[in-house]
A = this chain, B = another copy of it.
């Protein structure tokens, strides 16, 4: 897949340009690269190589007489091949451990803290996607009669996460019946994952209805109604959006506005994010690689996290393509591993 028609020297120069550009934000000229390079190559030679790199699409010039800046393809090459194995700075690690240990005990709190933490550490946008509801483990379920045929269903997950939904039932229920149905479901299915419970209920339903008593019928009915409603229950928690404005490459108001409109459309962002992320491990999506035009000059670093070995959600950050990839990858990787282990050891 990767065309790699780059010899060692070109690679070295590409890397120099990218690293320098990431730090300074200024287009990098041949002189600068020459000074940085210990093997004494002259600016002129470097110019030749840079011209090649430009022709191959790894570098670009803002205008004729400026230095070079990396293209998305250039960043991609850098991220894939030239990154050192991610190594977290001790103080970053300490800060993360400290912040998370305090909040770890409660799932909801962790989901609040993590994007804040990522945003603070990198001065970029941090986010988490919560796990889908079908992976939640049943601890408790409860039906409350609201009004005629409207029933509120409250579901409690093993780790204390509460979710709820109003369902419309086909006949009126007395509260006492609802209570019994709830108790039945808990007794029968506590400890199972919602997705499995739904499958079992559907299977039960397919059996001869007459075989069940009223209690059972109610419970199955209500359970299926609740579980059928198609919402995956994932939320995108996003923090530090104002950080984006600190970067000079976004001086243009109009791009900025469209970007913030994208942030407001959380639903859409969730889709985008998990389309970018079937694989496991930290992934980097650079600029135009995602096909949302609003994200054209942004890069996102994302990693899934697991609960009990099962992929649960995504954590990551979002910033301009000109970003410190090494640090970002290290941070996101560490946090996703830490989160996985915290959630897997959660008390139940």
Whole-angstrom CA separation of A346 from B160 in the bound complex: 30
CB distance from A65 to the nearest CB of B (A): 27
From A16-24, A47-55, A145-153, the one touching the partner chain is A145-153
Whole-angstrom CA separation of A156 from B156 in the bound complex: 14
- Chain B residues with Cβ under 8 A from A242's Cβ? 257, 260-261, 263-264
Which of the four size classes fits the interface of chain A? Answer: 20 to 34
CB distance from A261 to the nearest CB of B (A): 5
Query: Is A209 an interface residue, CB under 8 A from the partner?
Result: no
- Chain B residues with Cβ under 8 A from A348's Cβ? 147
Contact string, A213-240, partner B, CB cutoff 8 A, digits 1/0?
0000000000000000000000000011
On whether A144 and B139 interact (CB within 8 A), knowing A242-B261, A253-B245, the answer reads: yes
Query: Is A154 an interface residue, CB under 8 A from the partner?
Result: yes
Q: Is the CB of A257 within 8 A of B245?
A: yes
- Chain B residues with Cβ under 8 A from A150's Cβ? 160
Whole-angstrom CA separation of A242 from B258 in the bound complex: 8
- Chain B residues with Cβ under 8 A from A87's Cβ? none
Query: Is A112 an interface residue, CB under 8 A from the partner?
Result: no
Q: Is the CB of A147 within 8 A of B347?
A: yes
Query: Is A211 an interface residue, CB under 8 A from the partner?
Result: no
Q: Is the CB of B152 within 8 A of A160?
A: yes
- Chain B residues with Cβ under 8 A from A135's Cβ? none
Q: Is the CB of B154 within 8 A of A142?
A: yes
Query: Is A164 an interface residue, CB under 8 A from the partner?
Result: yes
Q: Which residue of B lies closest to A257 (CB)?
A: B245
User: What are 23 of the A-B contact pairs (CB < 8 Å)?
Assistant: A106-B166, A139-B144, A139-B146, A140-B144, A142-B142, A144-B156, A146-B159, A146-B160, A147-B347, A147-B348, A148-B347, A150-B160, A154-B154, A160-B166, A162-B162, A240-B264, A241-B264, A242-B260, A242-B264, A245-B256, A245-B257, A245-B260, A246-B257
